[in-house]
Amino acid sequence: MPENAQPSTRDGFALFPDRSVVALRVNGELKDLATTVADTDAVEPVTIDSPDGLNILRHSTAHVLAQAVQRIKPQANLGIGPPITDGFYYDFGVDTPFTPEDVKAISKEMQRIVREGQRFVRRVVSDEEAHAELADEPFKLELIGLKSPSAAEGASVEVGEGELTIYDNVTKDGEVVWKDLCRGPHLPNTRMIGNGWDLTRIAAAYWRGSEKNPQLQRIYGTAWPSKDELRAYQHRLEEAAKRDHRRLGRELDLFSFPDEIGSGLSVWHPRGGIVRGEMEQHARRRHIAEGYSYVYTPHITKKDLFVTSNHLVTYADGIWPPIRMDEERDDEGNVTKQGVDYYLKPMNCPMHILIYKERARSYRDLPLRLAENGTVYRNELSGALHGLTRVRGFTQDDAHLFVTPDQLEAETTKVLEFVLSLLKDFGLSDFRLELSMRDDEKSKWIGEEDVWETATDALRRVALATGLELIEEPGEAAFYGPKIDLKVTDAIGRSWQLSTVQLDFNLPERFELEFTDRDGEKKRPIMIHRALFGSIERFFAILLEHYAGDFPLWLAPVQVVGVPVADEYADYLDDAVAALRAAGVRAEVDHSDDRMQKKIRTHTTGKVPLILIAGEQDRAAGTVSFRFRDGSQENGVPLSDAVELVRGAIEAHALVSSAADLRPEGASA
């Protein structure tokens, strides 16, 4: 560019005429497509099907929802309307709660607004101008002075640390027909919302998430780039409802949450206990083979331990209230020894650190791998509790590894390889990784920058070596070190975060951990935190939904049920089932008075993988018949072969839905 020449400028419409582009990222910041940019700017297109594009679509649809509500109920006051996972919501101050009929009318009005093709036009305003324009919106007025993305639940869509902006909805004739306090960006116009949206439910919600504030009415919705994607999402919801682990837990008699015990505290029934036991025992065998040592720690500890670890400061709101103990008094009631506060443990790591500290350590002792199925307790809000996936008491399959700096990369590689291998044992296979890193905000992190850089580079190499998709997330690291999070996609396309591998330089420093190196010098080990399942309860719930209750044969609470064609063949099936039990198979015979077909329906509904049937022909020949999940049968299987086939399928962790699944590849029927 010649000296003193001005850079040329164009807007996003000129730069990216593709209609799938709905916004821009200019020098790293999201902007409206109408934004004017210079040749010197770094500009990236944002497509509607990208994560940012979907958020913009959903937030724009939330604005249309709010406009429709105020067309029908002009006195409704606006709260906030952020995008959320798979959708959006908007809160309103109204005199009476919304009804299903209201929602239908609002939906029709939204359709009209979408067809009108109103433009979303951004406008910068001062605090005084915003107060004047939004004088009739008390909740918006409250947000104007906050200027912080964390000022309220979901309020980052309204106000931030920078300038205030209002978005006008402008008709084709140039008339401003509605406005909202908003940071944006938005779609160019309402017509781009299309028909891939729906309003899903209504609920009550407290303003700014506090019960001290007024209760508002919330309308939830979802929005997708096309009608087909909306239908696919609705199908996923229907499938998810069928697979809901809370419903399956009741139907299959696996677990419950008795009111007498308390919210978020589960009890495991015999059948659920079998599945959990198989999970734990298999993981334990694999851990021991990988060089881990199992330890056991108490459920309660003195306050000072969690003060030293900083958990009592960082996670104070999520820790149970203290229990005062150890106070002593004399005969006159005078305190002779002050009491001490004890806490139910929210984490296992400080106790594992104390095991490390119990004696002097040498480089020859490292890596030291400590594992525990440790039950922890967190004071979750009642509104956040959800079946087994969000509870107040749960068991972490926790492991903490203490390594020398030169062991870090090799040991992290082993950890990640082990995690992937063990999850595959449970039938999961669709993985991706996220690398959470430090950013440029120096005050948020502890430790030297060169240590962070070395550790982050090591994690990146380890992650890339797996060949899995890797997403890097600057600024998302724990304050004490970078981490890798593993996410898995289940049978119906939902993403779950499971395993975490975190590097920690902080706790070894706080607890003054040491090892004697080869040169005789005392040095700090690095600590690796690793939860493979995350929590056993949550992982169980994920597996239950992934398989819709049809567990693989090795995990099924009851693996085989014998159903006689008639009562006279029950004794023969008792002998067959006894042979299976002797081989370690969980098997039983149905001796109820029900007819054979009803028994088969009962155990099929009960998700029993294999039904063993026998009649006169089987008894005479010393055979049995298998009925499989898909309704097919294999008849005339010699009893000794049947036992061998079932044992083989269990050891192979096979799903066993048909005859082909029961027999090894190439085996003859």
Q: What is the pLDDT of residues 98-142, one digit of tens each?
A: 999 999 999 999 999 999 999 999 999 999 999 999 999 999 999
Query: Which residues are annotated as part of the binding site?
Result: 349, 400, 529
Peptide bond connecting 367 to the previous residue in cis, omega within 30 degrees of 0: yes
Q: What is the structure's pLDDT at 185?
A: 95
Is 440 a residue whose pLDDT tops 80? no
Catalytic annotation, pick one of 32, 349, 438, 627 = 349
Q: What is the structure's pLDDT at 160?
A: 55
CA distances from residue 417 to 74, 410, 467, 486, 489 in whole angstroms, order as listed: 59, 11, 11, 12, 18
Lowest-confidence range among 35-39, 141-145, 477-481, 519-523?
A: 477-481
Q: Residue range 463-491: average pLDDT? A: 88
Active site residue 127: no
More confident: 515 or 153: 515
Catalytic annotation, pick one of 67, 118, 217, 396 = 396
Percent of the chain whose predicted confidence (pLDDT) is above 70: 95
Catalytic annotation, pick one of 398, 504, 590, 618 = 398
User: For residue 498, how many C-alpha atoms fall within 13 Å in the half-sphere facing its CB?
Assistant: 29
State the residue for tokens 């594009």. 53
Is 476 a residue whose pLDDT tops 60? yes
Q: Residue 373 is encoded by which pair of tokens? A: 């199925």
Q: What is the structure's pLDDT at 155?
A: 52
Is 278 a residue whose pLDDT tops 90? yes
Active site residue 400: yes
Q: Residue range 57-80: average pLDDT? A: 97
Is 153 a residue whose pLDDT tops 70? no
Catalytic annotation, pick one of 529, 546, 586, 603 = 529
Is 667 a residue whose pLDDT tops 70? no
293-305 b/e (C-beta count within 10 Å ≥ 16 → b): eebebeeebeeeb
Q: Residue range 236-261: average pLDDT? A: 94
Give the pLDDT band (50/70/90) at residue 666: very low
Is residue 627 within 8 A of residue 611, CB to CB? The reply is yes
Percent of the chain whose predicted confidence (pLDDT) is above 90: 75
List, in order, residues 6 or more apart from 653 with CB less than 8 Å away: 425, 426, 427, 552, 553, 554
Q: What is the structure's pLDDT at 15?
A: 86
Q: Residue 243 is encoded by which pair of tokens? A: 């697979």
**pLDDT digit string, tens, across residues 309-349:** 888 887 888 898 999 988 888 888 888 898 899 999 999 99
Is 208 a residue whose pLDDT tops 90? no
Active site residue 406: no
Is 26 a residue whose pLDDT tops 50? yes
Lowest-confidence range among 205-209, 436-440, 570-574, 646-650?
A: 436-440
In 326-461, beta strands by DSSP E: 328-329, 335-337, 340-344, 368-377, 393-403, 431-437
Q: What is the structure's pLDDT at 148?
A: 45
Is 669 a residue whose pLDDT tops 50? no
Closest by CA to 58, choosing from 299, 230, 246, is 230
Is 531 a residue whose pLDDT tops 50? yes
Query: Which residues are annotated as part of the binding site for Zn(2+)?
Result: 349, 400, 529
Is residue 325 within 8 A of residue 339, CB to CB? The reply is yes
**pLDDT digit string, tens, across residues 394-407:** 999 999 999 999 99
Is 624 a residue whose pLDDT tops 90? yes
Lowest-confidence range among 202-216, 229-243, 431-445?
A: 431-445
* Other Cβ atoms within 10 Å of 28 Cβ, number: 7
Is 38 a residue whose pLDDT tops 80? yes
**pLDDT digit string, tens, across residues 155-173:** 555 665 568 999 999 999 9
Residue 198, beta-bridge partner list: 222
Is 280 a residue whose pLDDT tops 90? yes
Q: Residue range 516-542: average pLDDT? A: 94
Is 533 a residue whose pLDDT tops 70? yes
Give the pLDDT band (50/70/90) at residue 147: low
Active site residue 331: no
Per the prediction, the chain carries an average pLDDT of 91
Active site residue 396: yes
More confident: 17 or 554: 554
Q: What is the structure's pLDDT at 150?
A: 43
Give the pLDDT band (50/70/90) at residue 149: very low
Q: What is the structure's pLDDT at 209?
A: 82
Report CA torsion sign: 642, 646, 652, 653.
Answer: positive
Q: Which amino acid is at 333?
A: G
Q: What is the structure's pLDDT at 565?
A: 94
Catalytic annotation, pick one of 400, 603, 619, 627 = 400
State the residue for tokens 């026998």. 614
